[in-house]
Amino acid sequence: MRFIARRERPIPAPIHNIWIYLNTAGPFTFNGQVPGLPIADFLIGAPSSFAQNTISQDRERQRYFGIYVQDSWRITPRLTANYGLRWEPYFGTVIPRGWVSHFDMNAFMTGMHSTVYPNAPAGALYPGDPGYHAGNRPMKPRLNDWAPRIGLAWDPRGNGRMTVRASWGMFYDMPSTLFYYGYSNEPPWGQAITYNSPPGGFSDPWFGFPGGNPFPYTFNKNSAFPKQAPYVNVPLDYHPPYLNQWNLSVEKQIGANWLAKASYIGTNTIHFWSPRALNPSVYIPGGPCTINGQTFNPCSTTANSQQRDCCSRFSTACRVISRCSPITPGRTAYRILGQRCLPVRIPIRTIGGSIEETVQERTCATSLICQQ
């Protein structure tokens, strides 16, 4: 019997340390919402959206440490076992300046605002706020991550001409580089804003925007929060994804020069991170119809997606009773449409608050109770 213990990296070693500056020059998007062809929208100067943001920076730092013990045991002359246990704690990605946030539904429902950034929407928490217990991280570290592994090799007849092998192991994963890139565009430090269907078109893209052109922008504790901006949200109590992998193989020597082999390999993934829409735009068939005092024909277009949100532009005393799917591990996003009635959504793709429509938009059934 032998016993092996090995440390893989210095304690703990950085696996990525990022510091990059970002800027968006102001792209226009055309989707054919007016005459039906994107190129026609371009020619008449009718963009479906306009995006702009300040010069921002993405800083992420993540460390890694792994240690394992392993033993090989020849149980009988024909059966050998190899087994081990790996400890792979997840320290979490650190955002050095604390430019990270978390959306808490309970805080939103009670109208609680941040003490770090008082003008932030209800439910948005930041490092230093009560209820935010992850430090300068998007999620809390998890130190109790253990990965056992075992393998068996068996010679059924003891003549060395046939072997049966089986093994099973658990393997953890962690966020990749730039996984939390979206935090860099959040207000108040990022100020990435998308203005959907700007009425001013090419000539004056910020025409009609509440408060006027939000740029240039100065960042401080009392900075104003725009009404259409991206927010990234990750559950604070988070489990890193891991997978189980197993295999079974049989080898048989035939004659002096032939070998036959049959094998099976299986895997399954646990705590797989994926996005899910929590406050999608509800599809309304047909038309015309009136939504919050506005008439649309047809009822559902990309131009009125925010009016069709489960929680859209209602009065400031608004209570939401939602039967949408609960938050699941994954990157999430929400954007501001009002201080008291904040829509929450987890899009497949989010660019400056502009939500790409997906089939998930039809999965939400939400009741809205608003005081007049």
- Gap between the Cα atoms of 2 and 340, Å rounded: 64
Residue 92: which region, alpha, beta or left (left: phi > 0; alpha: psi -120 to 50)?
A: left
Least-confidence region, from 180-189, 207-216, 249-258, 350-359 = 350-359
The structural domain count of the chain equals 2
- Name the residue among 111, 104, 369, 345 with its Cα closest to residue 228: 345
Mean pLDDT of 232-246: 88
Name the helix (H) or strand (E) containing 109. Answer: helix 105-109
Q: Are residues 290 and 265 in the same domain?
A: no
Q: Which residue has the higher pLDDT, 214 or 128?
A: 128
94 lies in the same domain as 18: yes
**Is the confidence at residue 50, as pLDDT, over 60?**
yes
Token pair belonging to 109: 């429902």
Last residue of a domain, one of 273, 307, 334: 273
- In terms of domains, do 259 and 279 share one? no
Is 333 in the same domain as 267? no
Same structural domain, 220 and 354: no
The stretch 171-200 carries a mean pLDDT of 83
Q: Which residues are CB-contacts of 58 (< 8 A; sequence separation ≥ 6)?
A: 18, 19, 20, 22, 178, 180, 181, 183, 184
Distances (CA, A) of 275 to 83, 93, 120, 124: 36, 19, 24, 19
This prediction has a pTM of: 0.64
Query: Within a domain: residue 298?
Result: yes
Residues 152 and 283 in one domain: no
| Owning domain of residue 54 | 2-100+136-273
φ, ψ of residue 252 in degrees (nearest 5): -140, 125
Q: Retrieve residue 225's tokens.
A: 């929060």
Predicted pLDDT of residue 279: 63
Examine the pLDDT at 312 and tell me if it is beyond 70.
no
Same-domain status, 153 and 171: yes
The verdict on 295 and 260 lying in the same domain is no
Q: Same structural domain for residues 280 and 240?
A: no
**Same domain (yes/no): 253, 298:** no
Q: Of 273, 294, 322, which marks where a domain is finished?
A: 273
Give yes or no: residues 167 and 212 share one domain.
Answer: yes
Determine the average pLDDT of the residues in 171-190.
83
Q: Is the pLDDT of residue 19 over 90?
A: no
- Residue 159, domain member (yes or no): yes
Among residues 217, 241, 273, which one ends one of the domains?
273
pLDDT at 36: 79
Are residues 147 and 59 both part of a single domain? yes
Average pLDDT over residues 127-134: 91
Q: Which band of pLDDT confidence, cut at 50, 70 and 90, is reported for residue 311? A: low
Q: Is the pLDDT of residue 183 over 80?
A: yes
> How far apart (Å, rounded) are the C-alpha atoms in residues 206 and 194?
10
**Residues 284, 272 contacting (CB under 8 angstroms):** no
% of the chain residues with pLDDT over 90: 25
What is the per-residue pLDDT for 150?
A: 97
Query: What's the pLDDT score for residue 228?
Result: 65
Q: What is the pLDDT of residues 214-238, one digit of tens each?
A: 777 778 888 888 776 677 888 888 8
Residue 361 lies in a domain: yes
Instruction: Tell me which amino acid residue 266 is.
Output: G
What pLDDT, on the 0 to 100 scale, is given for residue 76? 94
Q: Is 105 contained in some domain?
A: no
Q: Examine residue 164 and state whether it is found in any structural domain, yes or no.
A: yes
Residue 345 lies in a domain: yes
111 assigned to some structural domain: no
Pairwise pLDDT comparison (286 vs 74), residue with the higher score: 74
Q: What is the pLDDT of residues 336-351, one digit of tens each?
A: 222 222 333 323 232 2
pLDDT (mean) for 72-100? 92
Asked if residue 108 belongs to a domain, the reply is no
Instruction: State pLDDT tens for residues 141-179.
Output: 999 999 999 999 999 988 889 999 999 999 998 887 778
Q: Taking the CA atoms of 149, 153, 156 and 161 in sequence, report the sign of the dihedral they define.
A: positive
Q: Give the residue among 138, 28, 12 at the shortest CA–CA distance from 65.
A: 12
pLDDT at position 86 is 95
